[in-house]
């Protein structure tokens, strides 16, 4: 490898990393807006309206407010752990985006540029490993705050994350059995083309509906969202693990939560909803005259398909939050261990049997 190649590679990694950071940060900000608007309209309200056109600048205003707020560290807190905790939540959530395949490779000036930062042999394990790190931020915050509400919230959250990680991992195994790879790019490619009956696309959600439902429930529980938001159940715990945090440190937890939600949505899109594969096949668009055979981002609209699917999946999070009441703690544990775990195991068994007979 020459020095020029090394330089190009470095620039590519730095620029790609920066782009992904911008994408994630913008999303964490504007997903709050998305959430508030969707929830508001579901509850016959308008949501934020005053800051900018239809409240479009609201996330920026919120960010500025949190940025300028006083940073309070409780006098009895374990200072080092208290300061580290929000970062432990935020950093793993952000760096896991490195392996998300937003789109396929495209050619610029004779160079092949992929729309993902890394295609690891173990992408999926990388994401799972980092997502399991998220529990640390919560436990550390809960413990170091030296407050019983925070501690209870932290304990609840970590036990919840550990329990649902198992069901989530098992639901992914049946998908892995079908695609035969841990690389997210390979999994996406395995879902290209037409599938069942020649009408539906070859996405895993149609072949593995049980796994998809388990993943959906587990992903909501993993990110501590309603109806599984027991770690921050307001009526029991004030605000849960981040009750003692203020200002920017509080914002870090908030950003980590939304980045995690974005990540599990990305994973769902890649694993179950066909990744960058089009919802409407290219051939359909080419039949319509005047569309110019599909104008899109950098010549290929694959990225837009990915993003449409991403926000559609994310919509489910908001829908559930607006619709369902919170579970009790024992119900949560019962659902995780006694229903989802056996169902996920049975699903693997059935997948194995079907695959053996079909091959």
Partner 1 sequence: MLLQTGFIYFATVIVVCALMVITRKNPVHSVLFMLPLFFHVAGIFIMLNAEFVAAVQVLVYAGAIMVLFLFVVMLLNIQKERVRPRVGLKWTFTAPLGLTLFGFLVAILVRSQYNGTQGSFTIEAVKQIGNSQAIGQVLYTDFLFPFEVASVILLVAMVGAIVLAKKRLD
Residues at the site binding partner 1, with contacts judged by CB under 8 A? 78, 80-81, 84, 120-122, 125-126, 128-130, 132-133, 135-136, 139-140, 143, 151, 155, 158-159, 162, 165, 181-182
Pairing between β-strand 111-115 and β-strand 103-108 as defined by DSSP bridges: antiparallel
Q: Is residue 49 helix, strand or coil? A: coil
* C-alpha angle 354-357-359 in degrees, rounded to nearest 5: 105
CB of 358 to partner 1, least distance (A): 21
Instruction: Closer to partner 1 by CB, 143 or 258: give it.
Output: 143
Instruction: Closer to partner 1 by CB, 133 or 238: give it.
Output: 133
**Biggest distance spanned by C-alpha atoms of the chain:** 70
CB-based burial of residue 79 (10 Å sphere; 0-12 exposed, 13-18 middle, 19+ buried)?
exposed
In this structure, what token pair is assigned to residue 59?
A: 């996330």
Under 8 Å CB-to-CB from 291, ≥6 apart: which residues? Answer: 285
Instruction: Closer to partner 1 by CB, 151 or 243: give it.
Output: 151
| Nearest CA among 327, 139, 140, 317 for reference residue 230 | 327
Query: Residue 194 carries which DSSP code?
Result: B
Query: How far is 31 from 220, CA to CA, in rounded Å?
Result: 15
CB of 127 to partner 1, least distance (A): 9
Instruction: Closer to partner 1 by CB, 161 or 233: give it.
Output: 161
Instruction: Closer to partner 1 by CB, 48 or 153: give it.
Output: 153
CB of 101 to partner 1, least distance (A): 17
CB of 316 to partner 1, least distance (A): 26
CB of 139 to partner 1, least distance (A): 6
Instruction: Closer to partner 1 by CB, 128 or 178: give it.
Output: 128
Query: How far is 331 from 346, CA to CA, in rounded Å?
Result: 21
Instruction: Closer to partner 1 by CB, 81 or 312: give it.
Output: 81
Query: How far is 178 from 187, CA to CA, in rounded Å?
Result: 9
CB of 175 to partner 1, least distance (A): 15
Q: Which residues are paired to 107 by β-bridges?
A: 112
Phi, psi (5° rounding) for residue 114?
Answer: -80, 150
Query: Residue 328 carries which DSSP code?
Result: P
In this structure, what token pair is assigned to residue 81?
A: 């752990």
In this structure, what token pair is assigned to residue 219?
A: 């992903």
Phi, psi (5° rounding) for residue 79?
Answer: -55, -50
CB of 157 to partner 1, least distance (A): 11
| Nearest CA among 247, 232, 176, 215 for reference residue 340 | 215
Instruction: Closer to partner 1 by CB, 56 or 84: give it.
Output: 84
CB of 301 to partner 1, least distance (A): 31
Q: Is residue 108 helix, strand or coil? A: strand
Instruction: Closer to partner 1 by CB, 1 or 4: give it.
Output: 1
CB of 35 to partner 1, least distance (A): 28
């Amino acid at each position: 490898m020459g020095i020029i190649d090394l330089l190009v590679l470095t620039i590519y990694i730095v620029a790609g990393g920066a782009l992904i950071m911008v994408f994630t940060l913008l999303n964490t900000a504007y997903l709050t807006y998305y959430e508030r608007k969707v929830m508001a309209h579901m509850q016959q309200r308008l949501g934020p309206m005053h800051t900018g056109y239809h409240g479009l600048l609201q996330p920026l205003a919120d960010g500025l407010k949190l940025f300028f707020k006083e940073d309070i560290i409780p006098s009895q807190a374990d200072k080092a752990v208290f300061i580290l905790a929000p970062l432990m939540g935020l950093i793993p959530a952000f760096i896991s985006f490195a392996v998300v395949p937003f789109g396929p490779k495209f050619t610029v000036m004779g160079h092949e540029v992929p729309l993902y930062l890394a295609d690891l042999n173990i992408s999926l394990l990388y994401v799972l490993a980092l997502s399991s790190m998220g529990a640390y931020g919560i436990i550390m915050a809960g413990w170091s705050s030296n407050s019983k509400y925070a501690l209870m919230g932290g304990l609840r959250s970590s036990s919840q994350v550990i329990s649902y990680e198992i069901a989530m991992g098992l639901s992914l195994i049946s998908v892995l059995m079908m695609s035969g790879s841990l690389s997210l790019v390979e999994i996406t490619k395995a879902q290209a083309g037409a599938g069942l009956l020649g009408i539906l696309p070859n996405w895993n959600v149609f072949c593995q509906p049980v796994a998809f439902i388990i993943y959906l429930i587990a992903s909501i529980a993993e990110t501590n969202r309603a109806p599984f938001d027991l770690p921050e159940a307001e009526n029991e715990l004030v605000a849960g693990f981040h009750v003692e945090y203020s200002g920017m440190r509080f914002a870090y937890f908030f950003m980590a939560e939304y980045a995690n939600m974005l990540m599990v949505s990305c994973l769902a899109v890649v694993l179950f909803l066909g990744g960058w594969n089009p919802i409407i096949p290219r051939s359909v668009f080419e039949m319509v005259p005047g569309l110019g055979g599909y104008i899109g981002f950098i010549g290929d609209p694959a990225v837009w398909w990915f993003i449409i699917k991403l926000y559609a999946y994310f919509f489910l999070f908001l829908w559930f939050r607006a619709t369902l009441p919170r579970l009790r703690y024992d119900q949560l544990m019962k659902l995780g261990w006694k229903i989802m775990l056996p169902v996920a195991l049975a699903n693997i068994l059935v997948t194995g049997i079907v695959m053996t007979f079909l091959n």
